Amino acid sequence: MAANKEMRSVYTETLIELAEKNNNIVVLEADLMKSQGTVKFMEKFPERTFNIGVAEANMVGIAAGLSALGKIPFAATFGCFAGRRVYDQFFISANYAKLNVKLVGSDPGVAAAYNGGTHMPFEDLGIMRNIPKCTVLEACDQVSLRKLMIKSAEHYGSVYMRLHRKPVEPVYPENEEFELGKGKVLKDGSDITIIANGAIMVHEALAAEALLQKEGIRAAIIDMHTIKPIDKDLIIRYAKKTKALITCENHQVVNGLGSAVAEVLSENIPTLMARLGINDEFGEVGTQEFLQKRFGLTGIAIAEKATELLKRKI
């Protein structure tokens, strides 16, 4: 795989790969096909592609109907709309009806950059996590995206997946295998555990690990690609091992990854922890780089938070 490939190309290629093997795979879009890059899918499978226009709620309802008769719909829009604008349709028509809709929300958090505050989802994972039985995912690189999409297609049940469209540095080797609900240990360590999800934060967590290593701090890094169901065993194992944890998310700290980890810890093994993410703020316009600094979503900020936390560790 070419390094730093656009994630959206992987999204479309994987849809084509899935559709070649399974006639039931269908793709729905809401006038963002050019942005998501699924035009290539449409060229290959025109009869299995539905552009619903700027009508996200309609798209999700249609996807639910398609899935009731055995189709496996991947329906995509920006994450802000996939979360806020179609929540009731996804909740009722897809999840409550126990159907099989794969809803994809692109441009997670600060990745929405120039589209600004209205387009910046800091809450999508949180609200999706509140839907009973819904699987909630965010891949951090090309390999994990492809493998998690394949697993999602095999899994019966609705899934919400965040999609980072831009190029990212690969994290995993091509042959890495994934399971829904099973986090990945990217680096082992004994002083502190850093749990992150998504392309931006997993890469920043890895950068933080390098910074901490210079200070003699051995940090374990976990890619928690599935935040629901959350990998309880892995969290407990690393709580026992490192006795301090930090979560890092491109999302509100409320009800996202930080909350999910805190729930596991406080009920099973109360452990020193800190959550890094968005603290009760709306998004803003700017470059992704500017916004990462503005909201403290950087490797430096993670390393600082880790150092602070370690001062409290006895």
Partner 1 sequence: MITEQELKQLSAKARDIRILTIDAIGFLGVGHIGGAMSLIEILTMLYYRHMKVDPKNPKMRDRDMLVISKGHAGPALYSILADKDFFPKDWLHTLNQGGTRLPSHCDKNLTPGVDMSTGSLGQGISSAIGLALANRLDKINSKVYLIIGDGESNEGQIWEGAMAASQFKLNNLIAFTDYNKMQLDGYIHDVMNIEDINAKWVSFGWFVQRVNGHDMFELDMAIERAKREQYRPSMIIADTIKGKGCFFAERDLSNHNMSFTYEKAQEAISRLK
Q: Of these, 9, 24, 51, 307, which contacts partner 1 (CB under 8 A)?
A: 51
Separation CA 151–CA 148 (nearest Å): 5
> Binding of partner 1 at residue 34 (CB under 8 A)?
yes
Cβ closer to partner 1: 80 or 194? 80
Instruction: Confirm or reject binding of residue 166 to partner 1 (CB under 8 A).
Output: no
Residue 57 lies near partner 1 (rule: CB under 8 A): yes
Q: What's the first-to-final CA gap in the chain, in angstroms?
A: 45
Residue 237 binding result from ligand TPP, partner 1, none, given CB thresholds of 5 to 8 Å by partner type:
none
Q: Provide the minimum distance between the beta carbon of 53 and ligand TPP in the complex, in angstroms, as a whole number.
A: 8
Gap between the Cα atoms of 100 and 108, Å rounded:
22
- The residue range among 130-138, 167-175, 185-193, 285-293 that interacts with partner 1, by the rule CB under 8 A, is 285-293
The answer to whether 235 and 247 have CB atoms below 8 angstroms apart is: no
Question: In this structure, which amino acid lies at residue 226?
Answer: T
Site of interaction with ligand TPP (CB under 6 A): 31-32, 54, 56, 81, 85
- State the Cα–Cα distance between residues 99 and 226, nearest whole angstrom: 20
Sign of the four-CA dihedral 2, 4, 5, 11: positive
Q: Which residue in the set 2, 47, 114, 216 belongs to the binding site for partner 1 (CB under 8 A)?
A: 114
Q: Does 32 interact with partner 1 (rule: CB under 8 A)? A: yes
**248 dihedral zone (left: phi>0; alpha: psi -120 to 50; beta):** beta
Residue 4 site contact among ligand TPP, partner 1, none (CB < 5 to 8 Å, cut-off depends on kind)? none
- Side-chain-side CA neighbours of 234 within 13 Å: the count stands at 23
CB nearer to ligand TPP: pick between 78 and 238: 78
Place of tokens 């809401």: 30
Among 9, 58, 255, 307, binds partner 1 (CB under 8 A): 58
CB of residue 34 to ligand TPP, shortest distance in Å:
9
Please say which residue, 54 or 300, places its beta carbon nearer to ligand TPP: 54
Of the pair 81, 295, the CB lying nearest ligand TPP is at 81
Tell me the H-state helices in the chain. 7-21, 33-36, 39-44, 56-68, 79-80, 87-89, 124-129, 142-154, 198-214, 232-242, 257-268, 288-294, 299-311
Nearer Cβ to ligand TPP, position 86 or 145? 86
Q: Quick one: 33 or 297, whose CB is closer to ligand TPP? A: 33
Rounded CA-CA distance 287/290 in Å is 5
> Which residues of the shown chain bind partner 1 in the complex (CB under 8 A)?
29, 31-35, 51-55, 57-58, 80-81, 84-85, 114-119, 284-287, 290-291, 294
